Amino acid sequence: MAESFPEVQGGGSLILAWQVKNKKVLVVGGGEVAAGRILNLLNADASVTVISPTSGLNPEVAHRVQNNQVTHLDKKFEPSDLDDPDITMVLTAIDDPEASSQIWKLCKEKRLPANIADVPPECDFYFGSVHRDGPLQIMVSTNGNGPKMANIVRRRIASNLPPNMGDAIKKVGKLRKKLREVAPQPEEGPKRMQWMSKVCVQWSLEDLCDMSEEDMEMLLQSYAPDQVPSLVDVRGPWEFDGSFGWACVV
């Protein structure tokens, strides 16, 4: 019998969560588009350097500069600006197609990943439309075909999410950390993952949001026998006997 595998759908891009914390990123330009790029980078804890004459800074970028959220070089871009070995990526957002293409070529020579605003063929990566709720990030990409459509789709998805999804994810993150303290051994990895999966499936979003530190401690007692009691059972007048389940305390 022939096995069934997913169909290959070419023409897409590899969507990744790029970790740029404390990494140096160069932004050329200081207008509205640059402001959005800069905010995305700061949200990811990147170390941002902006190259733009002060006269070209829009109010938001000027605010970032004044509050020392970014490093500002008050000048126009020069090829030597790419000589810094600490630069990990380059973003351009300037109204000069010829200069942008030149920066792209220089980045290719130095093997620096770059994004040239509004020029998809000259981009190693794209910026999608992102929904953010605490630790939750959802990105919608049209692979450069329609940024406005990405925004519309992202809003549609966000409107169907519970408003407290981010809080639930934070609670799950705390529970995972506590579970690693309870069962730190590497060989426990598969069981930890399966047990956490069962918690996320069997508990409602409201339960996860309402889960307290005390609830976590009680719930973790059910890890060893590989059980997942409900939040009602965790909070009820029950006592875990360590063998086959929960017993009522009388």
Go through the domains of the chain in sequence order and give each one's CATH number: 24-127 (3.40.50.720), 165-248 (no CATH)
Residues 6+ apart with CB under 8 A from 119: 97, 100, 101, 104
Q: Which residues pair with 72 in a beta bridge?
A: 50
Of 1-15, 96-110, 143-157, highest mean pLDDT = 96-110
- Residue 247: per-residue pLDDT: 45
Q: Which residue has the tokens 């305390």?
A: 249
Q: How far apart are CA 189 and CA 92, in angstroms?
A: 43
Q: What is the pLDDT of residue 244?
A: 43
pLDDT in tens, 208-237: 988 999 999 999 999 999 999 999 999 976
Alpha carbons 131 and 123: distance in angstroms, whole number: 22
Q: What's the pLDDT score for residue 2?
A: 59
Look at residue 51 and give its three-state secondary structure: strand
Q: Is the pLDDT of residue 240 over 70?
A: no
The pTM of this model reads: 0.77
Residue 249: band (very low, low, confident or very high) from pLDDT cuts 50, 70, 90? very low
- List alpha helices for the chain, DSSP H: 32-43, 59-66, 97-109, 147-159, 165-182, 189-202, 205-210, 213-220, 231-235
User: Binning pLDDT at 50, 70 and 90, where does residue 248 land?
Assistant: very low
Query: At 237, is the secondary structure helix, strand, or coil?
Result: coil
Q: Whole-number mean pLDDT of the chain? A: 90
**What are the beta bridge partners of residue 239?**
247
163 vs 202: which has the higher pLDDT: 202
Q: How far apart are CA 142 and CA 121, in angstroms?
A: 14
Q: What is the pLDDT of residue 1?
A: 56
Q: Is the pLDDT of residue 124 over 80?
A: yes
Average pLDDT over residues 145-169: 89
- CA gap 214, 238 in Å, rounded: 14
pLDDT band at residue 147 under the 50/70/90 scheme = confident
More confident residue, 16 or 179: 179
Calpha distance 212→174 (Å, rounded): 10
The predicted model gives 194-200 an average pLDDT of 96
- At residue 142, the pLDDT reads 87
Catalytic residues: 118
Q: Is the per-residue pLDDT at 166 higher than 50?
A: yes
Distance of CA 129 to the CA centre of its chain: 12
Residue linked to tokens 């023409």: 11
Q: Are 133 and 146 in contact (CB under 8 A)?
A: no
